[in-house]
Amino acid sequence: MKIGIIGATGYGGAELVRIFKQHPHVEECILYSSSGDGQLYSQSYPHLTTITDQTLKAIDPAAIVRETDAVFLATPAGVSSELTPKLMNQGVPIIDLSGDLRIQDGATYEAWYKRRAADQSSVQQAVYGLSELNRETIEKAEVIANPGCFPTAVLLGLAPLMKQNLIDESMIIIDAKTGVSGAGRSASLGTHFSELNDNFKIYKVNEHQHTPEIEQILREWNPQTANITFSTHLVPMTRGIMATMYTQLKSDITKEELMKHMKGFYEDSYFVRVRDHEVYPQTREVYGSNFCDIGFHLDERTGRLTIVSVIDNLMKGAAGQAVQNFNIIKGLDEEAGLTMTPLYP
């Protein structure tokens, strides 16, 4: 198959290229860029010299649909909402890595993203691509709204308990940390080396745009879910997310029963690995991979539960999950092209 990647010069686009280079069912990646049209891709990423030396092509929706078997939109917010309607309903799956198609309510999107919402026909057609939780719907989809990086880590950690009504839906606190690549490739003061190095800071306090995405899915699982408290922090590392969730159990359950339930929930999900009780994952242990590792601690004294979920934000939080969704849509082995071992140390 031939794969189109729009926004190939960003980090998400580069990760898609890396994955598809080893994908057994993909012959070629055709790379599109609004800023680098006509340039060699290796000018943007010299480490790909002699590996991926294609010339970047202009974004022409009609040509893209003719040339490709699937299209990935690795674009900033606001771009997909313009391009998706021009690509839809032509028999080519579209997988959008931006947030444009995730939020069902247009007013909510505009309030949190501070930009105009996508056309509702695009949003309504898009399937939320949380691979492990939505496989059957993804299989039949033409348009995928790939989940955000923070929501992927948070939702995979909470799903086994929320979907079985085991935790108090009125009290969910999420404390999340991310590496700097989550901010994208464009330079800014907040990601400047001298500002970030030897530093640790909270940002977008109670205002992160992934908040309504998390709440939307939690309410699909349990309509009684209250507004969450969601804090995000930037740490001086390149890749990785750690989401720590604090909540309260609704009924008495032992740590052994909880571990059995958590592991059983993901027993058919290769990319989600649940640790034993009090064995906590680290971001380094999923670096460069499509794994989500989950640990937990049940405080039997208070009845409170702490869940720790780690992912690589560019892989399971973006390009890796996008390829996993592509595999599901195309009826391929879900692990195709994604079985790379985490880089350690």
Catalytic residue among 19, 31, 141, 149: 149
Backbone angles phi, psi at 189, to 5 degrees: -60, -40
Q: Which two tokens stand for residue 201?
A: 């800071």
Residue with tokens 């998400």: 12
Q: Which helix (H) or strand (E) holds 152?
A: helix 149-162
Decide if 149 is catalytic: yes
Which DSSP category does 146 fall into? Answer: P
Q: Within a 13 Å sphere around the CA of 69, how many CA atoms are in the beta-carbon half?
A: 12
Contacts for 46 with CB less than 8 Å, ≥ 6 apart: none
For 38-73, the DSSP string reads TSBHHHH-GGGTTTS-PBPB---HHHHHHH-SEEEE
Task: State the Cα–Cα distance between residues 232 and 243, nearest whole angstrom.
Answer: 9
Hey, which residues does 244 pair with through a beta bridge?
175, 308
Catalytic residues: 149
